């Protein structure tokens, strides 16, 4: 399926707030199966927009976690440690 620039922007925005694909599909009036398949194709523009939205929010969350870790929050320290392990596993 071909997506307009506006649809791609909306998908990125919705992914950034972790809205489920099925909910995004309802809002955009797209069959959920079609949107899910298009997002699964990592070379598609819609997949890139979706993943970019998710990643942008992960950046914000990780930044907040690191800020809390720097001031000694035990939970944030554990989360930061886990994030580091996942990062190293992905290298």
Cα angle for residues 34, 37, 42 (degrees, 5° grid): 135
Confidence (pLDDT) at 74: 96
Displacement of CA 78 from its chain's centroid (Å): 22
> Are the CB atoms for 77 and 69 separated by under 8 Å?
yes
Residues of the chain with pLDDT under 70: none
Rounded-to-integer distance, Cα 29 and Cα 1, Å: 13
Find all residues with CB under 8 Å of 49, minimum gap 6, and list them.
Answer: 3, 8, 9, 11, 12, 15
Confidence (pLDDT) at 65: 96
Confidence (pLDDT) at 14: 98
> Are the CB atoms for 36 and 47 separated by under 8 Å?
no
Confidence (pLDDT) at 34: 98
């Amino acid at each position: 399926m071909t997506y307009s620039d506006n649809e791609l922007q909306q998908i990125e925005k919705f992914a950034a707030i972790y809205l489920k694909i099925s909910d995004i599909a309802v809002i955009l009036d797209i069959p959920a199966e079609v949107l899910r398949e298009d997002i699964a194709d990592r070379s598609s523009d819609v997949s890139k927009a979706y993943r970019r939205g998710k990643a942008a929010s992960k950046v914000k969350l990780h930044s907040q976690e690191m800020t809390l870790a720097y001031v000694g929050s035990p939970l944030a320290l554990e989360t930061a440690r886990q994030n580091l392990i996942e990062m190293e596993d992905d290298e």
